[in-house]
Structure 1
Amino acid sequence: MNNQTSPAVKGTATEESLPFRQIFEAQLGSLLILSPDLRVRAATDSYLRETLTVREEIIGKHVFDVFPDNPEVTEASSSQSLRASIEQVLATGKAQKMEIFRYDIPDPEHEGKFLERYWHTVNSAVLDDQGNINCIIHETFNVTEREKARRQLKESQEREQKALANAELQRTRLERLFEQAPAALAMLEGPDLVFKVFNESYQQLFPGRKLMNLPLFEALPELKGQPVEAIIRHVYDTGETFEGKEVLIPVARFADKEPEDIYWNFIYQALYDAQGKINGILIFALDMTEMVNSRRQLEKNSEALQALNQELEARVERRTKALQLAQSIAEKQKQRLERLFTDAPAAICILDGPNLVFELVNPIYQQLFPDRELLGKSILEALPEIEHNDVYRTIREVYETGKTHEEEEMHIPIARPGDGVLEDRYFKYIQQARYNEHGLIDGILVLAFEVTEQIEARRAVEAGARQLQLITDSLPVLIGYLDKNEVYRFTNKAYETWFPLRAEELIGRSVLEVIGEKAYQNVKGYIERALSGERLDFEAEMPYRLGFKKHIQTSYVPDIRNGVVEGFYTLVTDVTERVEARRALEKSEQEAKAIAEELATANEDLQATNQQLLHTNSDLDNFIYTASHDLRAPISNIEMLMGELLLELPPESLELDEVGNILGMIKGSIERFKKTINNLTEITRLQKDHLSEAKVVNLEELVKEVILDLDQSIQKSKAQIKATVFSCKHVSFSEKNLRSIIYNLLSNAIKYRHPDRTPQVEVSCQQSDEYMVLQVQDNGLGLGETQQKQMFSMFRRFHDHVEGSGVGLYMVKRIVDNAGGKIEVESNLGEGTTFKVYLRNPLFR
């Protein structure tokens, strides 16, 4: 890449004094500049936000000192992966793109802790004029939420299956609880509030009235017009639960009787449908009439005696509380004010009277002058060197006028402790008048921040403008400057990747000429706002030319000099991939929401469907068993008739090639038919045998027995079998089913060996909290991606050069599925296959 800058461009950049470091730090992307020895030289604000770091705390430090590995992550070292990528860039000078990888960042809130993060990263080199690597640009994207969402989706699908099984149990429990509840419960459905469900306790409240399938105000018309009607309507309209305590509601217990005064404790609560809309009311009611009448009688007897005493006590209590409250408020206000000044993160002092005596100084203000005694002294007595400084002049003006004064970076030379030499120090402060109870100024409140370090840092940035310009040319962001006539006065090298001109050829051209009419119309309004002095950020779709359309994220920064807008800086970032990814994500979320709604609708029919499937599976099992049993007799008869036919045929006909071939094919067909019947019988056994009792099996001994059973095949193929299962020596599982799994996987590994190499099969095992993982790995023929998707289907075969029924792997998967486990396969065509069988730990079943 040509990194030389033409004299014209250099001159333009120098004349404009572009704030390149501020431009770099304002980049929307997460960018880090590293020196060749991997020390941090610069970072964007976006990078600091994503990594929860502070620029002053990381600049100059080694990147792996700032971001060490998380010791709790047992996976491969994150820093090793990043270091390898950067070293490749340093060795080749070419950009390196890293796939998504995990690299946790230190938690600033909890020392020694880390926050989980996933990143998509590109490392690229920046060359100087001699072609040497000047620095490394480390650009990274935080994809943690997307990565977690993908994992959470998988976990959610697994939880959903469990939730469906629990749903029916919860429904049954709810029905039992509803019926057996000691209180009256009823459910009203629809806007007409129709009685659909109520328990026996509710019916007993109205023993002589019909309620079921009648609207509330038709079943109990005396409620019409009472306050309870407005209450229940309000609950239905708003969803707000209402709780009534001893509410008088006249109602008749029998249809032909007059209403009687009944006191109720009741709760009205809205019911919602699957879409979250209100579709009914749940009523919880208790008849409190007897208790209310009894209490009222008791209260009536003691009411007169207690009235006078209560009034006297109430007066004393009110006065006592008022006094205590006033004292408490005063004390809290005093404590709050003291904490405000003492704990404030800024330097605060109060200067009292016309002599401006230090009346209050908080700890941070005192730290600005650690060798000075301030309290009780006038400001000129404590700080004599400020007498002729503008800071003292402005304090006097505030005291005399009451007008608040602010400064962003006031230069105040302060005598250094020890030798008294004046040091250049800079402060940002606010001076505000304090008023007494008569509205007269009696002091000054000063709020100050020392910004000396920031000023010095800014000057250092300006001194490094030339180096930052080199970095700017290496950034993948379009950085330019347009004058007030919309003509380019500066462009970086990134423009050359979008437009068929060199960067220096764009200078002097109008933005309309460079980007085209259609794209210009999309940003014309933003340009006018920038030239009016407004700083703005926006996204737009830019059809630059036929076949070249970009989604951009752009910042316009006005260049204001002496109150006049001379032009503006433009920063353009390509966010095409991000926009397309966001649209794809939104589409995915909409589809997920639609699926969730469909699942909610289908949930009502799930139980009936499950029951039907159980009956269907039972019928299929019976059919397979009956078919395999009934087919044995015919095939035996065909085999017997075949023998009789051989006896009847003339000897000379048996010597004919055609007859011999036909007889051979018939015998082969009979044998294959018998094997199919046996396989169907074995599948039926699996269907009915999956609940066979598990017991503790010595896995190591079982593997040895299976290897002995396959000894003839092993000798014939010269296969090398290596078994290392000592880490899970004992397994809780059905012994015959476990034997079948191991036998099928080992026999397949030998049977489907590669003709050009000696078969090597490795059996291993490892334990986890939830699973025992049995692994069988071979170097055989392997399978393609399409074949892997079909390999567990019944009677499915992919190789015809060896005998097989296509049932073995189907049986293995059925055994594992029935036991609550799972099986995974990794295979490469021509290289080999690895099967992983996950057998669930009994504690998690």
Structure 2
Amino acid sequence: MPAPTLTSGPAPELLQTLFDVSLTGVILFRPVYEPGAGAAITDLAYVRLNPAAQRMLQLPEVPEHTFLTLYPRASETGIFAFYRDTFLSGQAGRYDVNYQHDGLDNYFHLAAQRAGELLVVSFTDTSDHDRSAAEQALRESQAREKAARATAESQQKRLREVLMELPALIACFTGPSHIYDFVNPSYQQLFPDRMLLGNPLREALPELVRQNFLELFDEVYRTGVPFYGTELEARGDYHGEGYLTYRYFNVYLQALRDEQGRINGLLNFGYDVTEQVRARHKSTEAQQQVLILNEELSATNEELMASNEEIQANNAELLHSQQQLNLLNQELESRVLQRTLALLRAQNEAERQRARLENFFMQAPASICILDGPELVFELVNPAYQQLFPGRRLLGLPLLEALPELRGHQVWHTLQQVYRTGHTHEETGLLIPVAPYEGGPLHDFYFNYIQQARTNEDGQVDGVLVFAFEVTEQVKARHAAEASAWQLRVVTDALPVLIGYIDHEGRYRFANKAYESWFNQKPEQLLGREVREVIGEEAFSQVQHYFNRALAGEALQFSARMPYREDFVRYIHTSYVPDLRDGEVAGFFTLVTDVTEQELARQQVQDLNDELRARNDELHATNHQLRHINIDLDNFIYAASHDLKSPITNIEGLLQVLQEHLPPGSPQHPDVAPILAMMQDSVLRFKRTIDDLSDVTKLQKEHDLPSTDVALADVVEDVRLDLQPLLSQTGGQLLLELQDCPSVSFSTKNLRSVVYNLLSNALKFRHAERVPLVRISCRQVDGFTVLSVQDNGLGLEQSQQAELFTMFRRLHTHVDGTGIGLYMVKRSVENAGGHVEVESVPGVGSTFSVFFKRG
């Protein structure tokens, strides 16, 4: 069956949404044709660009200039040819190109598909990513491909010019409706007032419907068997005469095939032989008139004999009869002369038509030769045939003497068979290795050809007529397409998604390897089988509604639970994309993704959510109790710290008394002094811990205290003065960017503590290899005033950042501290409705951002 094309037809609102949110660039083009008959596509006009395409190409939604105006180098890079050929073929296509012209230097993945009178282009731009080795290789190879592409386009243009200039009648049709796709001027001149291009044959020439021509076209399209008819009679309104007249044509119909070898159109190659046929009819009428004249002469002779008898009976009447006979003879001679001249003129006209036919034969674009006798001597070779062998002599030589490399080849055997049996032989895409030049190397050429016997007047075969087309490029392209199809199969088989194509009868026409693990059958075993049979009645009932909508032309997505078998139930997410051809739904693509794990996880999450809601209710019930417990704990900490101050003060006094009474440098106890120093240090740390606990308790108790408007710049300046000794010691610098910093609603005491902790930490945890540099700035963000302190110090690992604001947690031990400062910063800011964020890179530095809630 023909290769399916991907055509989407979602609801307008869904299509608009997809068009707008797609991260892939999408362009809608309308072809621009050259004026006149057989018009070719010369450019593309922009209809619309989606936002992604506008961003990638820096173009408006509807550019006023055409594609080649904006990107003139698109022709030589093959992009324009790709768009044009994709539109004309109606098949989906892909093209990868590294475009380094017209202000672009990007690697593009292009995909195109015709949709009615528009061309839809989808593309991605890899300019934000490092180029892969394949892309780099493509860049290097594109320069080499440009020259070859330019040559190919020049040859294509020349071939089109030749077809347009030929006197033969040439037209190409696409699809089973036989839509005119190409018409040369000779063909168009037969119907000057008809619009042929783009219209089906039935509508463009309705008078042919009753003459069985459509059945002939359908038969060639269906079977692929070429048809050649001579002097076919066709009634039509030729040259806009306003009434039907008879004309005669020699017609050759050849099926056209796509890259996969499937028939997608017809070639109609013919000649108008009306004048030759009419001349032959006139010649036949002249011969009939001569026969009539002979009969009249015979009758006249009989009359003369009767007259002679009467002359013998009556001499007087003889003279009179003789005179009448002389007059009659003169009249007869005149009539015979006139008839003879008319016959000669008819013969001359027939000869002239024969010469004209031979001239047409020599100008035909097909390669044609006539081989004479059992040795198949080249009797006639037209220029197209001779051009295949520009450096070899053919005329007058037997086939195997002129082309000895054909000995033993299939083409030689079939020629002998045609000469022996008289049966016509046809080949499609046959490989024939031949040497274009005498003594040169063999080159592989592929041909479509017909070998037809020629008979003499006795009906005996005396030669063979060969009618051939060289299709080397088409065959190589088909081989390349087959390789691409194989690559596509490899790619789809590697995907975990079930990818298939279902025809309008509900049967699988394509299935990738993912189907095998679900249905225990090879993909090729599914082809031709109904979906209902493969997936089972119960599963089919879950998707039948969507199935029917897709066959009606609707593109859709849905999720479903699919009980394929008793022991095999899957949750799926599916996309159906209809395949529209000439307004009819040929089938649809199906992409099935297994979402069973996600669905089961979703159900588990739902169960957890229900459980969490129940626990949340319990938490609300205990939250009040926890608040009271926190207050009791704060009171306990405050009381404990207050009660511990007295004994620790006594211990500190006893240590001082002990140091005063110990003799200095006592040899009996050399370790006493170090031990006393450690005890004194422990007492000092214990006192600082008690003070920190008191500060934490005070901070908690101040949670509900009213805030006042405090000028951030004043507080920062006050802290800077307090830190001046540390700045001098370290050589550090403070860069203040607070000119636009407003007041914040905060406790003045707590705000000073926040600023002091952040600035002192930035100086204390400095990097050993550079002078401290601290930048203080202010900005407004979504209802918050943000104070940022950026340093170039030690920085923090990601794991350290998670423990940064934990009470009594110290991440660097080479600097004195209790690990309470940042905890108090975070607690006091959060108590006022704000929060603290940190960004840090080890060895580079850190940035602390304090978000103060405004008003």
Question: If the length of structure 2 is used for normalisation, what is the TM-score?
Answer: 0.40
| Structure with the larger RCO, 1 or 2 (CA within 8 Å, 6+ apart) | 2
TM-score (norm 1): 0.40
Larger radius of gyration, structure 1 or 2?
Answer: 2
